[in-house]
Chain A
Amino acid sequence: MDILNAIVAFVNFVVIPATAYGAQLALGALGATLVYGILRFSNFAQGDTMAFGTMATILFTWWLQSMGVHFGPLPTALLALPFGIAVTAGLLLLTDRFVYRFYRKQRAAPTILVIVSLGVMFVMNGITRLIIGVEEQNFADGARFLVTAGDFKRWTGLDEGLAIKSSQAITVVTAVIVVAWLFWFLQKTRTGKSMRAFSDNEDLALLSGINPNRVVNVTWIIVAVLATIAGVLYGLDKSFKPFTYFQLLLPIFAAAVVGGLGNPLGAIAGGFVVAYSEVFVTYAWKKVLGYLVPADMAPDNLIQLLSTDYKLAVSFIILIIVLLFMPTGLFKGKSS
């Protein structure tokens, strides 16, 4: 019974939140890694693209809600997603047309493009805050829980509760669907193949008649899809505040680098590595250990490696370790 309680506590406070967070990071990192693989620069505006996409989706959600449209037990935001993605894709294509294309024609060094993306980040951040404000916005509706802690305790008779929020379940399911679709697209479709060819060797791809503008535009549209979905899922699960999305940039890049920049599979693995590390290192193990060891050996202190205040530092540490010992990441991406 005690072992069961330990497992339930572990799942409730570590596995479930870390899995949902990992899925959100993985989607964000996929966007960053695609830009790196195909357009060959680190897109610092990724976090704020997510914020912008979420903002657009929130505005459409409110509009749908005001029209009385609801999605049953699911959040209305899922219905608004396509609109949000369309607006975000439009913004990214405009940015590419007026900013990135100029530097691409000059064959600017990746470092310059990184700094350009930093500028784009500030502008996007400003637009988002100008339109929706800096305050926290709540746009989640529908059923809040699949399983509540209280119900779980009643069903099982255990001391520990297990809660699964519907937003967490939606996050994981959506992430699986999106990732599966992306891999099918990259492996099986003509456009996907041409994108991979462009990524592997730009000159050969151009020689074989691939239209570079088309590849670039499709890439931005996919980035808009990934960023908006990741942002909306994060906002549904946690809360939407423009500034917290800006802070997501670090874990996202840590995830992309851990997996190997430019490698989609690596981005997904990296997202979960970063999320689980953050939660493992800052979790206080007192309760779980208390169930597992005999009562007289139960720990008095919290058994916590790092205070939760240092959560963000974990991404930094992972980033540094990977860059020092494994610059190409777990899945052999392009060296950064």
Chain B
Amino acid sequence: MKKLMMATATIALMAGSAHAEDAKIGIILGFTGPLESITPNMAASAELAIKEVNDSGKFMDGGTVTSERADSTCIDATAAAAAAERLITVAGVNGIMGADCSGVTGSILQNVARPNGMGMISPSATSPGLSSAEDDGLFFRTAPSDARQGEVIADILTERGAKSIAISYTNNDYGKGLSDSIAAAFAAKGGSVTVNTAHEDGKADYSAEVATLASAGGDILVVAGYVDQGGKGIIQAALDTGAFSTFFLPDGMYGDSLIASIGDGLNGTYGTVPGTDSEGAAAFAANATAAGFDPTSSFTGESYDAAALIMLAMQAAKSTNAKDWSAKVMDIANAPGEKINAGELGKALELIAAGTDIDYVGATAVELVGNGESAGNYREYTVNGGAFVTDKFR
């Protein structure tokens, strides 16, 4: 008992003695629930960044970073807030990497992070709603908002000379949100949206939906659906009836099965899919493979970048206090400064300590825009000769 008391007292002393060299990062992801298959790899990516920093020995003049996992459940806002509360009050974390799903992320932000003044960086919350959420400057994300894809798509359509578009979207939150953001962005650029209508997945026949789209007309049909579902049916029916000959395919429509089932009719169709060709992505993939997990799993690069940004911002602020480091995140993530790829965290810490500006590029070519969210990177492609041909990255 005496020993325990002493130990507790020592820890309390250490914590209170303003060493400010050690830091603890809470990793709150849905280890149970709908995303349980990808969250272990996401957490492993964040821990990879932490290990890299510790191995360099340059964090806060020789401090170490530890981490603690917590379960966001992805769907239960109350459970997620309780887990985050525990991370802050019991585990005493200095920053939160998470959460994963948009709903629980919003809940943690409003119920736990803001009242406690805790900074958080989410690797995978993509809801446009979070862009305008009150965050006291404490919330960032390394994944792009779904609204961002709409802007990128509107840019591409305008550049390729489309004056009017028809949109058919899959009837759920993803389809509706994406089609609305495409329609708004395209209209803002002076184009006209002839029709923006839903299709249900899993039907045998889409000729009625296509008849409506054909009646509205347009230079190109944007199909914001799923490649193995109604999206394919819409394209097939539109080609069969000659209603449209060119299509635009957002991320849900990218897949080899589409080319296999539609065939030559798809040539000339173009689209976007998230992706980057940066050196950082390759470096991250190599490190992740060496660490024993799959780098191609969803949101791994984003998770690595989220954890890395927290630690680099702490180094820049010379403080593990969330109010201090969260003010530095935008500086670290964006130009000007020396570019830092994934795997170069030691070098970054050194540069920051020496007072040099850095521009963190990381595994996913991070560029934070607006209210502190990733601008995202998209691969623009055209279907040509039965294959997806990459045009450029943007």
Contact = CB atoms under 8 A, between A and B. Distances in A.
A284 B216 contact: yes
Nearest to B242: A149
A311 B197 CA distance: 15
A163 B204 contact: no
B204 A238 contact: yes
Given A17-B207, A241-B204, A283-B211, A307 B197 contact: yes
A148 B265 CA distance: 12
B240 A244 contact: no
A12 B242 contact: yes
A144 B200 CA distance: 25
Contacts of B216: 284, 286-287, 302
A13 B214 contact: yes
A223 B79 CA distance: 56
Given A302-B215, A302-B216, A138 B261 contact: yes
B384 interface: no
Contacts of B255: none
Contact of B242 (A161, A237, A244): A161
Interface residues of A, number: 41
A282 B216 CA distance: 14
B217 interface: yes
Contact of A284 (B171, B211, B241): B211
B241 A163 contact: yes
- Of A13, A243, A288, chain B has the most CB atoms within 10 Å of the CB of A13
Contacts of A162: 242
Contact of B204 (A234, A282, A283, A309): A234
Given A13-B211, A138-B261, A302 B233 contact: no
Contacts of B52: none
A287 B194 CA distance: 12
B211 to A, nearest CB: 4
A239 B233 contact: yes
A97 interface: no
Nearest to B208: A308
A153 interface: yes
A287 B205 contact: no
B203 A304 contact: no
B202 A308 contact: no
Contacts of A307: 197
Nearest to A288: B215
Contact of A283 (B212, B217, B240, B242): B212
B215 A282 contact: no
A83 interface: no
B40 to A, nearest CB: 29
B198 A309 contact: yes
Nearest to A161: B242
A283 B215 contact: yes
A309 B198 CA distance: 8
Contact of A282 (B208, B214, B217): B208
Given A138-B261, A287-B215, A302-B212, A161 B204 contact: no
Contacts of B203: 244
A304 B207 CA distance: 15
Contacts of A152: 242
A144 B237 CA distance: 12
B33 to A, nearest CB: 24
A138 B195 CA distance: 30
Contacts of B208: 17, 278-279, 282-283, 308, 311
B214 to A, nearest CB: 6
Contact of B212 (A21, A234, A288, A308): A308
A285 B216 CA distance: 9
A144 B242 CA distance: 14
Nearest to A241: B204
B21 to A, nearest CB: 57
Contacts of A285: 215
B212 A161 contact: no
A150 interface: yes
A238 B242 contact: no
Contact of B211 (A14, A153, A240): A14
B351 to A, nearest CB: 54
A287 B214 contact: yes
A286 B212 CA distance: 9
Contact of A163 (B202, B205, B242): B242
Interface string B206-231: 01111110111100000000000000
B166 to A, nearest CB: 11
Contacts of A234: 204
A286 B241 contact: no
B346 to A, nearest CB: 50
18 contacts: A9-B214, A13-B210, A148-B242, A149-B240, A161-B242, A234-B204, A237-B205, A238-B204, A241-B202, A243-B202, A244-B202, A283-B208, A283-B215, A284-B212, A284-B215, A284-B216, A307-B197, A308-B199
Please provide the 5 A-B residue pairs with the shortest distance between their CB atoms, ordered closest to farther.
A149-B242, A161-B242, A284-B215, A244-B204, A13-B211
Given A284-B211, A288-B215, 12 more contacts: A13-B207, A14-B211, A17-B208, A145-B240, A153-B242, A162-B242, A165-B240, A278-B208, A279-B211, A304-B212, A308-B197, A309-B171
